[in-house]
Homo-oligomer: A and B are copies of this chain.
Amino acid sequence: MSLFPVATDKQALEEGDALSPRFDANGLVTCVTTDAATGELLMVAHMNAEALQRSIETGEAWYWSRSRKELWHKGATSGQIQTIVEMRVDCDQDAVWLKVNVAGDGGCCHTGRHSCFYRRQPLGRDAQRDTGFRPLAFA
């Protein structure tokens, strides 16, 4: 039995009040996680139905690790537990937004950084040369 109802039409999906996630062919929705205090984008990950259900029930972020192919209680080993302050879903319900407070040392990225988005790509016509794009800058 599915954990979530399926929206019967576009109106229900976009304007309804039932959480009806549209899981992709791999059974996943995209999850965007931001810092509840600063608004900074911390990470982009994925959830299957069980990860989404556990996140809702426990108020802590659970993901589906695509590399390890297993449920992933973020912070269970590192102490970087993510307490969900607010969860939102987007118009066509294939993406979830978590605003979180991070416990432990406040880190999120497996490289040890606070956010996974620590490199900036220069923009503009100059950004692309014959030999490729101008180098990323560490933020």
A-side residues, CB < 8 A to B, are: 4-5, 14-19, 30, 32, 34, 38-41, 43-44, 53, 56-57, 59, 84, 86-92, 94-97, 109-111, 113, 116-125, 127-128, 132-133, 135-139
In the complex, the chain B residue whose C-beta lies closest to that of A121 is B87
From B111, B121, B125, give the contact of A19 (CB < 8 A). B121
In the complex, are the beta carbons of A111 and B133 less than 8 A apart?
no
In the complex, are the beta carbons of A57 and B89 less than 8 A apart?
no
From B40, B109, B123, B125, give the contact of A91 (CB < 8 A). B109
In the complex, are the beta carbons of A116 and B91 less than 8 A apart?
yes
| Copies per complex of this chain | 2
Instruction: Note all chain B residues with C-beta closer than 8 A to A90.
Output: 43-44, 116-117
A61 to chain B, nearest CB (A): 11
Instruction: Note all chain B residues with C-beta closer than 8 A to A18.
Output: 132-133, 135-136
In the complex, are the beta carbons of B4 and A88 less than 8 A apart?
no
In the complex, are the beta carbons of A59 and B124 less than 8 A apart?
yes
From B43, B56, B128, B138, give the contact of A121 (CB < 8 A). B56
Q: A32-B44, A34-B41, A59-B123 are in contact. Are A133 and B4 (CB under 8 A)?
A: yes
Can you list 29 A-B contacts with CB-CB less than 8 angstroms, sorted by A residue number?
A5-B132, A15-B111, A16-B136, A18-B132, A19-B133, A30-B44, A32-B41, A32-B44, A39-B40, A41-B88, A44-B94, A56-B121, A56-B123, A56-B133, A57-B123, A57-B124, A59-B124, A84-B123, A86-B120, A88-B118, A89-B117, A89-B121, A89-B136, A91-B111, A91-B113, A91-B116, A91-B118, A92-B116, A96-B121
